[in-house]
């Protein structure tokens, strides 16, 4: 039976690499404009089943960031790059039927944009994950304000109480200019997206299939409204033509968690994809929030367990704002909107979070000179956007 964010407890599929990849952060890839030819090879590799984030990193490292060279490589070179025999055979077999240029033109016909880890439009919070999708497919519009986002997830089999709570919280958060992220599934996801749109806010739907497929079919109109309203976007790491598979949903859930400042579970049983999303949030250093439910209702067992395990108990929107230190959401928006004037600030700020990063690490990640990084960090510190916590370690100030 097909499952989704709401009722799925399977593990994410393996990457197919020779050995487990070290948890190297994706931000080590500096921003760099891609030619259309090079972008086509990123898209082509994303269409190879079995090539995941870890293998992408191996190829980028071995071929010095040139995926065109990786695409044209022979068997022995791919093996030397760290791919195992089975994955090499899979790559050689599948690439024979993929034309990178044609794959890119297909996206243009479908009005789908391919964002790579090298693109500045790639969501900064997601980019910091060690398993961030190398290519993210986009339909609609992303906004700088989407960096102030909260994921709302829960069960498909929503009670009237679950609907009331989800709609109320999504509406209030949207009115505070917080983008609502969810998975376009039935139940809680649908209620969250719909309430955000109705409140005039923004919402992002993350799919476990290609953006030309749209699952579930009953939410096609909702997906269309998210795009055509200008109030949000559809995102997926899966290329066009990929249909939903049980293994895709847990992988999709990590993206939902990675895009947001935290994850709010409004109603969920013990076996729920929403709890997987909450686990991904914790692993990514995000906050987890849960709405307490009826102790006799199976649909509340998951949220009540999350609270027992230490999730923030939520009785209103202010609880979320206080936990995230967003006494006014304007603080968050001010932080994100303070940087577009200066290109160096735009490049450095997404590399910073609430976890201290040393200046040397920022120099390596950004690809900028030591002098440029030091000067830009000083400027950001004087603006009150970041602060120094120890010898040359920096964090976001808000």
163, 222: one domain: yes
What percent of the chain has pLDDT above 70? 87
Task: Give the per-residue pLDDT at 388.
Answer: 85
Domain boundary among the residues 259, 291, 323 is at 323
The answer to whether residue 145 is domain-embedded is yes
Domain count, the chain: 2
367 occurs within a structural domain: yes
- On the question of pLDDT at 9 being above 80, the answer is no
Kindly report the CATH number assigned to the domain that includes residue 391. Answer: 1.10.10.10
pLDDT value, residue 174: 95
Residue 22 has a pLDDT of 34
What pLDDT does 107 receive? 96
Residues 335-348: tens digit of each pLDDT = 454 444 677 887 88
Query: Does residue 1 lie within any of the structural domains?
Result: no
Range name among 10-14, 130-134, 227-231, 251-255 with the lowest pLDDT average: 10-14
Measured CA to CA in angstroms, residue 323 lies from 56, 135, 192, 287 at distances of 36, 32, 20, 8
- pLDDT per residue over 93-119, tens digit each? 999 999 999 999 999 999 999 999 988
User: Which spans in the chain are helix H?
Assistant: 36-46, 53-62, 67-72, 75-80, 85-95, 100-110, 124-127, 160-175, 188-198, 220-228, 248-259, 273-283, 301-308, 317-323, 329-337, 343-348, 359-366, 370-382
Strand 149-153 with 262-265, pairing = parallel
Whether residue 126 is predicted with pLDDT greater than 70 in this model: the reply is: yes
Residue 220 within any structural domain of the chain:
yes
Both 259 and 319 in one domain: the answer is yes
- Whether residues 275 and 389 share a domain: the answer is no
Please give the pLDDT value at position 142. 92
Name the pLDDT band for 30 (thresholds 50, 70, 90).
low
Q: Average pLDDT in the 244-254 region? A: 90
148-170 pLDDT, tens digit per residue, is 999 999 999 999 999 999 999 99
The answer on 368 and 306 residing in a single domain is: no
Tens-place pLDDT, residues 208-241: 999 999 999 999 999 999 999 999 999 999 999 9
Task: Tell me the mean pLDDT in the region 291-304.
Answer: 91
Asked whether the bond before 77 is cis by omega within 30 degrees of 0, the reply is no
Same structural domain for residues 318 and 352?
A: no
Decide if 161 is inside a domain: yes
Q: What is the mean pLDDT of residues 111-133?
A: 91
The reply to whether 43 falls in a domain is no
Considering the domain architecture, whether residues 239 and 387 belong to the same structural domain is answered as no
Task: Provide the residue range defining the domain that includes 362.
Answer: 338-396
Clarify whether residues 286 and 384 are in a common domain.
no
pLDDT of residue 257: 94
Structural contact between residues 201 and 178, judged by C-beta atoms closer than 8 angstroms: yes
Residue 112 lies in a domain: no
Cα pseudo-dihedral 74, 80, 86, 88, rounded to 10? -30
Model confidence pLDDT, tens digit, residues 335-381? 454 444 677 887 888 788 777 889 998 888 888 889 989 988 988 88
Q: Tell me what pLDDT residue 23 has.
A: 34
Q: Are residues 307 and 238 in the same domain?
A: yes
- Closest C-alpha among 144, 373, 164 to residue 267: 164
- Statement to judge: residues 294 and 354 lie in one domain: no
Residue 233: predicted pLDDT: 97
* Average predicted confidence (pLDDT) for the chain: 86
Question: Could you say which of 272, 289, 323 is where a domain stops?
Answer: 323
Does residue 355 share a domain with residue 315?
no
Residues 252 and 315 reside in one and the same domain = yes
Of residues 147 and 152, more confidently modeled: 152
Inside any domain, residue 57: no
Task: Tell me, yes or no, whether 231 and 299 share the same domain.
Answer: yes
CA nearest to 87, candidates 129, 116, 45, 117: 45
Last residue of a domain, one of 262, 292, 323: 323
Please tell me the predicted confidence (pLDDT) of residue 247. 86
CATH number at residue 266: 3.40.50.450
């Amino acid at each position: 039976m097909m499952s989704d964010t709401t009722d799925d407890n399977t593990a994410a599929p393996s990457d197919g690499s020779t050995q487990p990849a070290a948890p190297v952060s994706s931000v080590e890839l500096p921003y760099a404009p891609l030619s259309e030819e090079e972008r086509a090879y990123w898209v082509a590799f994303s269409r190879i089943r079995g090539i995941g984030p870890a293998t992408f990193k191996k190829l980028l490292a071995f071929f010095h960031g040139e995926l065109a060279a990786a695409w044209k490589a022979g068997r022995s070179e791919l093996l030397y790059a760290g791919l195992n025999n089975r994955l090499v055979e899979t790559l050689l077999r599948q690439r024979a039927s993929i034309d990178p240029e044609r794959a890119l033109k297909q996206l243009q016909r479908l009005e789908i944009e391919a964002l790579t880890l090298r693109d500045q439009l790639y969501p900064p919070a997601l980019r910091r994950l060690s398993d961030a999708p190398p290519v993210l497919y986009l339909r609609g519009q992303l906004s700088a304000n989407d960096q102030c986002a909260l994921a709302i997830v829960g069960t498909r089999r929503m009670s009237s109480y679950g609907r009331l709570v989800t709609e109320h919280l999504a509406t209030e958060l949207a009115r505070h200019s917080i983008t609502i992220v969810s998975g376009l599934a039935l139940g809680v996801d649908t209620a969250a997206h719909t309430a955000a749109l109705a409140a005039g806010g923004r919402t992002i739907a993350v799919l476990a299939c290609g953006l030309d497929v749209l699952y579930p079919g009953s939410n096609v109109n909702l997906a269309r409204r998210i795009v055509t309203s200008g109030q949000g976007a559809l995102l997926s790491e899966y290329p066009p033509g990929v249909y939903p598979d049980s293994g895709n949903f847990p992988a999709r859930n990590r993206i939902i968690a990675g895009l947001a400042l935290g994850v709010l579970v409004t109603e969920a049983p013990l076996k729920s994809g929403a709890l997987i999303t909450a686990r991904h949030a914790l692993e990514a250093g995000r906050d987890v929030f849960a709405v307490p439910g009826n102790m006799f209702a199976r649909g509340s067992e998951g949220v009540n367990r999350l609270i027992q395990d230490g999730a923030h108990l939520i009785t209103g929107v202010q609880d979320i704002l206080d936990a995230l230190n967003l006494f006014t959401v304007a603080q968050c928006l001010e932080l994100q909107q303070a940087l577009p004037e200066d290109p160096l600030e735009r490049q450095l700020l997404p590399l910073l979070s609430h976890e201290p990063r040393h200046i040397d690490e920022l120099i390596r990640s950004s690809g900028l000179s030591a002098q440029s990084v030091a000067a830009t960090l000083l400027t950001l510190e004087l603006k009150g956007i970041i602060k120094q916590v120890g010898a040359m370690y920096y964090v976001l100030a808000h």
